[in-house]
Amino acid sequence: MVKADFGSDFQWGVSSAAFQTEGAWNIHGKGPSIWDTFTRRKGKIKNGHHADVASDFYHRYQEDIAFVKKLHIPNFRFSVSWPRILPAGIGSPNTKGLDFYDRLVDCCLQHEVDPWVTLYHWDLPQALQDKGGWTNRDVLSWMEEFAALVAGRIRDRVKHWMVLNEPTVFTGAGYFFGVHAPGLTGLRNFFPAAHHAALAMGRVGRLLRSEVPDAAVGSTFSCSGIHPATNRRRDVEAAKRADALINRLFIEPVLGIGYPVMDLKALKGIEKYMQAGDDSLLPFDFDFIGIQNYTREVVRHSYFVPYLKARICSAKSRGARPITDMGWEVYPESIYDMIKKFGAYPNVPKIYVTENGSAFPDTVANGEVADLQRLKYLQSHLAQVLRAKQEGLNVHGYFVWTLTDNFEWAEGYDARFGLVHVDFQTQQRIVKASGKWYGTFLDDQPAT
Ligand code: IFM
């Protein structure tokens, strides 16, 4: 497999997110985000880790973008910290915050790296959470205000925009299970949060299209192949319900299909939060969608799980091998299955894989990190992307998650996903074997 197999206009990149990398949590006028609050709550994050410094990207972005260039990666996806731009969520903008992203975009371009911007990668201003956060419909106008400010500052140089990162994850983990910020639980939080996130994609998508008419506007969706544990009818039905929740909940309203209530009746509860006219506000004709895949899920019927009546059988309990540090089965076919699944919807213009990667326990020996499991993971997943491409499926790009090791949410710093190793004591960076491999793979003029 060589880069040329994917065609000359295939987009290659690496993805990152503000809260996971920037640190600088309270300097130069940044306000607190829900994650700054959540990481301070006892027992919420493994080992009590927080992201006050993270991988210090706010101060070290030049060094990190130089790695992107050195590894011949043409596209860098990052997110904008909303509370760095609007410390109180709305109202008075923080010029120093806008200046930072201005410098970051310039730095990318100076290194001939194209900046791809995600507006919302989970770090809502705490001031807005105090008003209900995603459960409050006003979040739509709050987010428009934020989006307009960011677009106003960098639209002349940024040509790829994404509205949300993985709405299923931030509404599910943050507003139903309470294991991510803001730590809320139950359907009375999840349903309004989910509906407003679905509406935000269209609302902010429309705003971006008018603010940045020459740009491609998209949004990203987490997804996993869902397999029933057995062929028994009740497991097959359970897998269908899990698929509706995990893979279909957000893409289908955006595509004008509506929420997948037929296959997951409990979703009818969303209707309570819908207002007249919402049916026509949900669809939006994105220029591309980002799909983000890491693994597959095996699902079994369960009487004990309310609403869903299905449970995920962990990779460990199934004896699946290999599994990553996140406990996720390495199952490369899943990325092919997801490209096929999302590509089969009518009106999906272009699919980019905007995240794929793995966490493994890395060790530094003689100044090197021989992360062969990650390298193999990337190669095997890329082979499946190529399979999809060669079958004529609609996939046009691939981004590795992530550039440097960083703060992996509830897992703290234990789960390392980077192509570049970070020593969180010294902030010293070492390009891992996987990073070197990706760099060589992408190099158009390899040394002979
Ligand atoms: O680190 C996360 C990222 O923020 C969103 N997608 C999944 C990654 C790995 O868990």
- The verdict on residue 273 lying in a domain is yes
- The verdict on residue 319 lying in a domain is no
Could you identify the atom of ligand 1 that is nearest to the CA of residue 165?
Answer: 5
99, pLDDT greater than 80: yes
Give residue 257's domain range: 10-226+245-293+330-442
What's the whole-model pTM score?
A: 0.98
- Using CA atoms, how far residue 5 sits from 44, 264, 441, in Å, is 44, 40, 11
Count of Cβ atoms closer than 10 Å to residue 274 Cβ: 16
Decide if 355 is catalytic. yes
- The verdict on residue 298 lying in a domain is no
Average pLDDT on 209-221 reads 97
446, pLDDT greater than 80: no
- Using CA atoms, how far residue 76 sits from 108, 195, 274, 283, in Å, is 8, 30, 36, 28
Could you identify the atom of ligand 1 that is nearest to the CA of residue 122?
Answer: 4
Q: Indicate if ligand 1 lies below 6 Å from the C-beta of 401.
A: yes
Average pLDDT value for the chain? 98
pLDDT in tens, 153-189: 999 999 999 999 999 999 999 999 999 999 999 999 9
pLDDT in tens, 421-438: 999 999 999 999 999 999
Structure tokens at 428: 């010293």
Mutating to test ligand 1, I would choose from 355, 403, 413 the residue with most ligand atoms within 8 A of its C-beta, which is 355
Q: Indicate if ligand 1 lies below 6 Å from the C-beta of 158.
A: no
- The verdict on residue 315 lying in a domain is no
Residue 262 buriedness (CB in 10 A; 0-12 / 13-18 / 19+): exposed
Q: Indicate if ligand 1 lies below 6 Å from the C-beta of 166.
A: yes
Q: Which residues lie below 8 Å from residue 222, measured CB to CB, with a gap of 6+?
A: 166, 168, 169, 246, 292, 293
Could you identify the atom of ligand 1 that is nearest to the CA of residue 406?
Answer: 1
The letter for the amino acid at 357 is G
**CA 334 / ligand 1 centre spacing (Å):** 17
**CA 146 / ligand 1 centre spacing (Å):** 23
Q: Indicate if ligand 1 lies below 6 Å from the C-beta of 123.
A: no
Structure tokens at 226: 């869902």
Q: Which residues lie below 8 Å from residue 182, measured CB to CB, with a gap of 6+?
A: 34, 37, 38, 124, 129, 133, 174, 175
Task: Indicate which residue of 22, 297, 329, 355 is catalytic.
Answer: 355
Structure tokens at 338: 């997801």
Token pair 């080992």 in the structure block, residue: 47
Confidence of residue 419 (pLDDT cuts 50, 70, 90): very high
Residues 181 and 188: their CA atoms lie apart, in Å, by 16
Average pLDDT on 315-337 reads 97
What would the DSSP string read from start to end of 222-237? E--EEEESSSSHHHHH
Average pLDDT on 63-79 reads 98
Q: Indicate if ligand 1 lies below 6 Å from the C-beta of 408.
A: yes
- The verdict on residue 183 lying in a domain is yes
Confidence of residue 319 (pLDDT cuts 50, 70, 90): very high
Average pLDDT on 79-96 reads 98
Task: Indicate which residue of 22, 166, 252, 329 is catalytic.
Answer: 166
As a whole-number percent, the residues of the chain with pLDDT over 90 amount to 99
* Ligand 1 atom 10: residue of nearest CA: 408
Domain total in the chain: 1
Confidence of residue 311 (pLDDT cuts 50, 70, 90): very high
447, pLDDT greater than 90: no
237, pLDDT greater than 90: yes
pLDDT in tens, 248-302: 999 999 999 999 999 999 999 999 999 999 999 999 999 999 999 999 999 999 9
Could you identify the atom of ligand 1 that is nearest to the CA of residue 411?
Answer: 10
- The verdict on residue 167 lying in a domain is yes
Decide if 411 is catalytic. no
**pLDDT score for 143:** 98
- The verdict on residue 429 lying in a domain is yes
Here the CATH number for the domain that contains residue 198 is: 3.20.20.80
Q: Which residues lie below 8 Å from residue 395, measured CB to CB, with a gap of 6+?
A: 339, 343, 351, 352, 353, 385, 388, 389
pLDDT in tens, 29-69: 999 999 999 999 999 999 999 999 999 999 999 999 999 99
- The verdict on residue 194 lying in a domain is yes
**CA 356 / ligand 1 centre spacing (Å):** 9
Could you identify the atom of ligand 1 that is nearest to the CA of residue 121?
Answer: 4
Q: Indicate if ligand 1 lies below 6 Å from the C-beta of 17.
A: yes
pLDDT in tens, 132-149: 999 999 999 999 999 999
Length of the chain: 448
Confidence of residue 327 (pLDDT cuts 50, 70, 90): very high
Question: Edge to edge, what strands does the sheet with 296-301 contain?
Answer: 225-228, 296-301, 310-313
**pLDDT score for 448:** 65
pLDDT in tens, 373-402: 999 999 999 999 999 999 999 999 999 999
Q: Indicate if ligand 1 lies below 6 Å from the C-beta of 336.
A: no
Token pair 């949060």 in the structure block, residue: 193
**pLDDT score for 421:** 98
Q: Indicate if ligand 1 lies below 6 Å from the C-beta of 355.
A: yes
**CA 408 / ligand 1 centre spacing (Å):** 7
Mutating to test ligand 1, I would choose from 291, 408, 416, 419 the residue with most ligand atoms within 8 A of its C-beta, which is 408
**pLDDT score for 445:** 84
**pLDDT score for 176:** 97
